[in-house]
Amino acid sequence: MESKHAYPVPPPSYSEFGNPILRPSPETHFMTTAPIASSTTVPNVLGSGPCMATCPTCHSRQLTAVTFEPNSKTHLVALLLCLLGCVCCCCIPYCAESCQTAVHKCGRCGAYIGSYQN
C-alpha cells in the first residue's frame, strides 16, 4: 500500500508537545524534532555571591542581589560560643556570611530566585 503523503504520517497518539523527539522509521532518511520545552534548561547554580540567573517573574537574565539571613546553624554556633564562655564572641556568627543563608533575589524586580546554605 502506498501512502498519499510525501512524508510518513505520525501515529494517531502523536501530539506536538507529547513527543520531544520523533524517531525515523527505517524507510525515512531524516529526523524530525519537536520544539524543546523550556523545562529542559540547565538550572542556575547559586552560590554565596551574586551570579547570573533568569528571573521566573520578569524573565530577565542578570546578576542576582544577595542578602544574608541567619539560620539554625548561626543560632547553634552562637549558643555554643555562649556555653563555652565566649559571651563577647557570640555575635560573630551573625556577622560572618559563612554561617548564614545567602538569599538570591532578582536585581530588577526583587522576586525570590533561590537560596544557598553553606
Share of the chain above pLDDT 70, in %: 63
> How many Cβ atoms from other residues are within 10 Å of residue 78's Cβ?
19
Print the domain residue range for 70. 42-117
Pairing status of strand 52-54 against strand 112-117: unpaired
Q: Contact at 8 Å (CB) between 100 and 69? A: yes
Please report the pLDDT score of residue 102 as a whole number: 93
Phi-psi region of 110 (alpha: psi -120 to 50; beta: other; left: phi over 0): left
Mean pLDDT for the chain overall: 76
CA atoms within 13 A on the CB side of 18: 6
Residue 106's pLDDT band, with cuts at 50, 70 and 90, is very high
Q: Contact at 8 Å (CB) between 37 and 17? A: yes
CA pair distance 91, 103, nearest whole angstrom:
20
pLDDT digits (tens, 9 = 90+) for 22-80: 555 555 444 444 444 443 333 457 888 999 999 989 999 999 999 999 999 999 999 99
Q: Is residue 2 part of a domain?
A: no
Q: Is residue 31 part of a domain?
A: no
Please report the pLDDT score of residue 75 as a whole number: 94
Q: Which distant-in-sequence residues (6+ apart) come within 8 Å of 6 by Cβ?
A: none
**Domains contained in the chain, number:** 1
Q: Is residue 7 part of a domain?
A: no
Q: Is residue 46 part of a domain?
A: yes
Confidence (pTM): 0.58
Q: Is residue 21 part of a domain?
A: no
Single-letter amino acid, residue 113: I
